[in-house]
Structure 1
Amino acid sequence: MTKDTMSIDTSAELLENDILPMIREVHTDPDVPCASQGDMPKALAEPVAKKSPAQWAYERIIMYIQNFEKQLDNDHEVGMGLAGGNTGVIRIEGLGYYDPDIVTYYGTSEAGAKTQLIQHVSQLNVTLIASPKHIDQPEPKRIGFRLAAGLERSEDVTT
């Protein structure tokens, strides 16, 4: 486009641009639930342009954690494995972000040590893992459902 030409978007194009990006998943087993199935929280329907990269990453991670937990039995909780380093598996007990570009995970290591991972959104790389719940714990803790509840509120999702 040159300086002398102007591009005008239609109302539909403007709306579509606010909704993008889209989510798409395909699995070998058609019964595996996709994160895109079901109702999406209000926070994910907000225009992406109004969010920092950290907030946008945080909200999508929550959806993936919640979807992963839906597939677990009562003997397992969500944990995460990290690429690079010798961190091992962390039981996810909290998730947050710091604008504009930091996502942080709180949890406990396999050895029982309190753990916090601080990650730049450009380095985001997490593997969700089914971790056995503690033996003395009657029910698994489902952090994804608690986090997703925050995405339904109209105010800041981290409060």
Structure 2
Amino acid sequence: MTTDDIMTAAEVHEASALDWMRGLARCSSATESMPMAEQEPLPEAMTREPPETKSPARWAYERILLYLRNFESQLDGEHEVALGFAGSDAGVLRIEGLGFFDPDILTFYGEDETGARTQLIQHVGQLNVMLRAVRKESPPSEPPRRIGFRLEEAQTSPISPSTA
């Protein structure tokens, strides 16, 4: 379709909905009751802009937030989320932050299993993220960190160059 084509309201709505399509298949009855990120409604902050206006980095950042939030919602009070390095024996990164740099870079901030500051800079074209549940290191009286929910809250008021 060219920019000169005239679309009905229904066609515009359908085209917009197709941009947000998601799929899910399950092959185990053990996961039937588990909520999956693909089934959850998209947060309002994610739907403000049409997908075609977002960079690949922003798109990946927003969707990873959904997966983080969903993964964390299934953890008990003794575990937190960490990122496993797919295809590597580099260990895991306990996620403390996530950022993106348009048009195509994602960055994960945190600590490795020894407590060393760790940062993963990843091109969206090579993105492989494995979320892992790791025992929290904070005292039992402290609640586990839930980074996915905090990052989503931060996304509702994006950083602009004037506030960075």
Distance 2:159 2:42 in 1: 14
- Give yes or no for the alignment of 1:141 onto 2:139: no
Aligned counterpart in structure 2 of residue 80 of structure 1, from 57, 80, 83 = 83
| Aligned equivalents of 1:53, 1:43: Cα separation in 2 | 17
Q: Classify the secondary structure of the residue corresponding to 1:148.
A: helix
Q: What is the match of residue 107 of structure 2?
A: 104
- 2:58 aligned partner: 55
SS of equivalent residue, structure 1 residue 63 = helix
Change (3 A) 1:139 1:22: same
Find out whether 1:23 has 2:48 as its counterpart: no
Tell me what 1:93 maps to.
96
Q: Percent identity?
A: 50
Q: Say which structure, 1 or 2, has more relative contact order (CA 8 Å, 6+ apart).
A: 1
1:69 alignment partner in structure 2: 72
After TM superposition, the score normalised by the length of structure 2 is 0.83
- Report the CA distance between 1:136 and its aligned residue: 2.7
Unaligned runs of 5+ residues in structure 1 are: none
RMSD over aligned CA atoms reads 2.4
Q: 1:125 matched to which residue of 2?
A: 128
Query: Which whole-Å deviations, capped at 9, do the CAs of 1:19-69 have from their partners, x for residues lacking one?
Result: 414122233222100113444212322310111100010000000000000
d(CA) in 2 for partners of 1:96, 1:71: 23
Q: For the Cα contact (< 8 Å) 2:138–2:144, is it kept in 1?
A: no
With 20-29 and 49-58 compared, the bigger mean Cα shift is at: 20-29
